[in-house]
Amino acid sequence: MKAYKEMSRDELLTLKAALEEAYKQEEAKGLSLNMARGKPGMSQLTLSMPMLDVINSQSDMNTLLGNDTRNYGDLDGIGECRKLMADMMSVEKDNVVVCGNSSLNIMYDTVSRSVTHGVNGSTPWCKLDKVKFLCPVPGYDRHFKITEYFGIEMVNIPLYDDGPDMDLVEKYVNTDPAVKGIWCVPKYSNPTGISYSDEVVRRFANLKPAAEDFRIYWDNAYCIHHLYDDKQDEILNILQECEKAGNPNMVYIFASTSKISFPGSGISAIATSLENIEYIKSQMTIQTIGHDKINQLRHTRFFKNIDGLKAHMKKHADLLRPKFEAVLNTLDRELSGLEIGSWIEPRGGYFISFDALPGCAKSIVAKCKALGVVLTGAGATFPYGKDPQDSNIRIAPSFPTPEEMQQAAEIFVLCVKLASVEKLLGEM
């Protein structure tokens, strides 16, 4: 294939005419496909339906310790569920509080509590003139929305194949006391799919924050969300590394079963040092009498243990892999050598991240939408919704069927080509 940038104006015009013709044909099909969000597909939801039989009117509703899950109690979650989530998050049970249905909600509450009450006794952030968070980009839009909502200034940090630019992270964290946090998706990152290298994790653990209330917000959303049996990423245990480095309180780890059981009806957890846990519980006990323990029991009895969780995730992988491959094969077949975009082949998680020619992302997303294929809005993967390059697009292959995904991928590459030609012709 000839790279577009090496084509003459005439060649580009000829190509453009052909692409526009193809575009018209697709337009006539009137498709309606949604690749905007990391929503599990129908077949994935079906996997967890047997969970709904595990607890019924004849069930023993007591925990292993004999507590009745139907009544008030167990603020930090029932013991067996804390154990299950601890194993999933690679920490000890005592380091875990099991919460409600959403890890996003825990993250929000964690930031909100810091704004109103500070962190383990520090000055409440609402009393400070400026609070900053570092945001590896591209990243997860809902993280950025939380910090934006609380008026926290966000600083873009480039995300490479092995993690964030740690020179820059160290520079900010170790010298600027206004920097109070960094958002991380360390494994199968949203959206690029990369995992942090051991060196990156160690450099995180060895930060020397200028602010005593600096914390790493370690959203391990895809901790057991592999796509392959034989190619799996593993990351270093950040809680252990922080302990070793003498920074035991520096990290909050978040996870949930939203993409294991049911989005919205799963369970979530936070894992951190015992000192942090005590502080969090002192606030949680004001906020709630406790979370949904029957749902905790349902999850624990269904998955039984970490092996049960892993076996379940293999079934998810079998369903997701063809969808990822439909996109990746199409990108590879249609775009290789054209030099109009790049992407990483993820080994897990929920996304494929595509970097178009600078200035093309919005145009591609708009063109796809006109053909009935909804993508995450261009810019969403950056703080304030502003991609300085207008280049990154997040593709979420999970919700459509593999066949629909194939169709959507064909449309996507068509729109990439057309937008790129327009760009090179100076029409945009």
Binding site for a copy of itself (CB under 8 A): 37, 39-40, 42, 45, 48-53, 55-57, 59, 61, 68-73, 100-102, 104-105, 108-109, 112, 115-117, 124, 126-127, 142, 145-146, 149-150, 262-265, 283, 286-295
**Beta carbon of residue 420, minimum distance to a copy of itself (angstroms, whole number):** 32
CB 397 within 8 A of CB 40: no
**What is the per-residue DSSP string for 290-347?**
---HHHHHHHHHHH-SHHHHHHHHHHHHHHHHHHHHHHHHHHHHHHTTT-SEEE---S
Which C-beta is closer to a copy of itself: that of 259 or that of 362? Answer: 259
- Minimum distance from CB of 352 to a copy of itself (Å)? 19
Contacts of 175 (CB under 8 A, 6+ apart): 210
Shortest CB 269 distance to a copy of itself, Å: 15
Q: Which amino acid is residue 325, in one-letter code?
A: E
Contact 159, 317 (CB under 8 A): no
Count, in order, helices (H) and strands (E) of the chain: 14, 13
Nearer to a copy of itself, 80 or 241 (CB): 80
Main-chain phi, psi angles of 389, to 5 degrees? -95, -10
d(CA 181, CA 358): 29
Phi/psi for 151 (5° steps) reads: 70, 25
In terms of CB distance, is 69 or 330 closer to a copy of itself? 69
Smallest separation (angstroms) from a copy of itself to the CB of 44:
9
Is residue 111 classed exposed, middle or buried when 0-12, 13-18 and 19+ CB atoms within 10 A define those classes?
Answer: buried
Peptide bond connecting 158 to the previous residue in cis, omega within 30 degrees of 0? no
The whole-angstrom separation of Cα 127 and Cα 221 is: 31
Tell me whether residue 8 or residue 58 sits nearer to a copy of itself (CB atom). Answer: 58
- Residue 131 beta carbon to a copy of itself: minimum distance, rounded to whole angstroms: 12
Nearest distance, CB of residue 295 and a copy of itself, angstroms: 7
Torsion of CA 238, 244, 250, 256, to 10 degrees: 30
Q: Which is nearer to a copy of itself, 90 or 296 (CB)?
A: 296
What are 342's strand-pairing partners?
Answer: 355
Minimum separation from the CB atom of position 272 to a copy of itself (A): 20
**Shortest reach from residue 345's CB to a copy of itself, in Å:** 26
